[in-house]
Amino acid sequence: MRRLKLCRGLVQVALAVGLVGLCALCTRTPPPAPALPQASPTLPSPFPSTASAIVTPSIVAPTSKIIASETAPPPSEALVTSTAVASAGLLQVHFIDVGQGDAELIVSPEGRLALIDGGVADSGVLAYLQSQGVSRLDLVVATHPHADHIGGLIQVLKSLPVAEVVTNGQPTTTLTYEHFLDAIADVGAEYVEVKRGDTIPFGGLAFQVLSPPSTPGDDLNSNAIVLRLVYGASSFLFMGDADQAAEASILLVGLPVQADILKVGHHGSRTASSPAFLGAVEPKIAVYSAGRGNSYGHPHPETLEALASAGVEVYGTEVNGTVVVTADSAGGYKVEVGRQSAPPAPPIPGAGVTSTAAVPGSGGPLSLQIISVTNPVAPGGRATLVAHTMLGANCTIKVYYKSGASKAAGLSPRSADANGDVSWTWNVGRNTTPGNWRIVVTATAGGETMTQEIYFTVAK
pLDDT digits (tens, 9 = 90+) for 100-110: 999 999 999 99
DSSP 195: -
* Residue 406 identity (one-letter amino acid): S
Amino acid code (one letter) for 321: G
DSSP codes, 196-227: TT-EEEETTEEEEEEES-SS--S-TTTT--EE
Residue 44 pLDDT: 35
Decide: residue 447, CB within 10 A, 0-12 exposed, 13-18 middle, 19+ buried. exposed
Distance of CA 159 to the CA centre of its chain: 23
Q: Which residue has the higher pLDDT, 31 or 266?
A: 266
The pLDDT value recorded for residue 12 is 57
Task: Give the tens place of pLDDT for each residue, 286-319.
Answer: 999 999 888 888 999 999 999 999 999 999 999 9
Task: Give the residue among 211, 215, 213 at the shortest CA–CA distance from 241.
Answer: 211
Distances (CA, A) of 326 to 47, 66, 343, 413: 9, 10, 21, 49
% of the chain exceeding 90 in pLDDT: 60
Least confident of 80-84, 129-133, 421-425: 80-84
pLDDT in tens, 185-218: 999 999 999 999 999 999 999 999 999 998 878 8
Per-residue pLDDT, averaged over 250-263, amounts to 95
Mean pLDDT of 64-88: 35
Q: What is the pLDDT of residue 369?
A: 82
125 Cβ contact list (under 8 Å, min separation 6): 96, 98, 103, 115, 118, 119, 152, 153, 155, 156
Q: Which residue has the higher pLDDT, 173 or 355?
A: 173
pLDDT at 11 over 70: no
Other beta carbons within 10 angstroms of residue 354's beta carbon come to 15
* Cα 233 to Cα 290: distance, rounded to the nearest angstrom: 29
- Domains in the chain, ordered, with CATH? 35-337 (3.60.15.10), 355-458 (2.60.40.1930)
What is residue 390's predicted lDDT score, i.e. its pLDDT?
86
> What are the tens digits of pLDDT across the range 326-368?
999 999 999 999 876 666 655 444 333 334 343 433 334 688 8
CB atoms inside a 10 Å sphere around CB 117: 31
CB 280 within 8 A of CB 436: no
Number of H helices, E strands in the chain: 10, 26
User: Is residue 10 over pLDDT 60?
Assistant: no
Lowest mean pLDDT among 46-60, 145-159, 383-397: 46-60
- Give per-residue pLDDT as tens, 397-434: 999 998 889 999 999 999 998 878 899 999 999 999 98
Q: Please, are residues 95 and 317 in contact by the beta-carbon 8 Å criterion?
A: yes
Highest average pLDDT, of 32-46, 77-91, 348-362, 416-430, comes from 416-430
pLDDT given at position 101: 95
For the chain, what is the radius of gyration of the CA atoms?
23
* Residues contacting 350, CB < 8 A, separation 6+: none
Instruction: Give the confidence band of 26 by pLDDT, cuts at 50, 70, 90.
Output: very low
pLDDT of residue 370: 85
What are the tens digits of pLDDT across the range 214-251? 887 888 999 999 999 999 999 999 999 999 999 999 99
For Cα atoms 297, 301, 304, give the angle at the middle one, nearest 5 degrees. Answer: 115
Per-residue confidence (pLDDT) for residue 68, from 0 to 100: 29
84-93, 343-352, 436-445, range with the lowest pLDDT: 343-352
Q: Of 285, 336, 280, 275, which is closest to residue 309 (Cα–Cα)?
A: 275
Give residue 384's pLDDT band: very low, low, confident or very high (50, 70, 90).
Answer: very high
Q: Which residues contact 412 (CB under 8 A, 6 or more apart)?
A: none
Which amino acid belongs to residue 175?
L
Band (pLDDT 50/70/90 cuts) for residue 47 is: very low
CA–CA dist 131, 116 (Å, integer): 17
Classify strands 261-263 and 234-238 as parallel, antiparallel or unpaired.
parallel
Q: Quick check: 17 pLDDT over 70?
A: no
CA distance 442 to 313: 31
Instruction: Point out the least confidently predicted range of 43-57, 199-213, 243-257, 381-395.
Output: 43-57
In the predicted structure, residue 32 carries a pLDDT above the cut 90: no
From CA 412, how far away is CA 407, in angstroms rounded?
A: 9
Angle at 62 between CA 60 and CA 66, to 5 degrees: 70
Strand order in the sheet with 365-373: 355-358, 365-373, 382-389, 421-427
pTM, two decimal places: 0.64
Integer Cα distance of 284 and 270 in angstroms = 20
The yes-or-no verdict on residue 396 having pLDDT over 50 is: yes
CA separation for the pair 219, 399 (Å, rounded): 15
Higher pLDDT, 12 or 26: 12
Q: How far is CA 182 from CA 158, 164, 186, 189, 225, in A?
A: 10, 15, 6, 11, 21
For residue 172, count CB atoms less than 10 angstroms from its CB and return exposed for 0-12, middle for 13-18, buried for 19 or more: middle
408 contacts 263 by C-beta, under 8 angstroms: no
List the beta bridge partners of residue 115: 105, 140
Residue 218: phi and psi, rounded to 5, are -95, -20
Dihedral of alpha carbons 137, 143, 149, 153, sign: positive
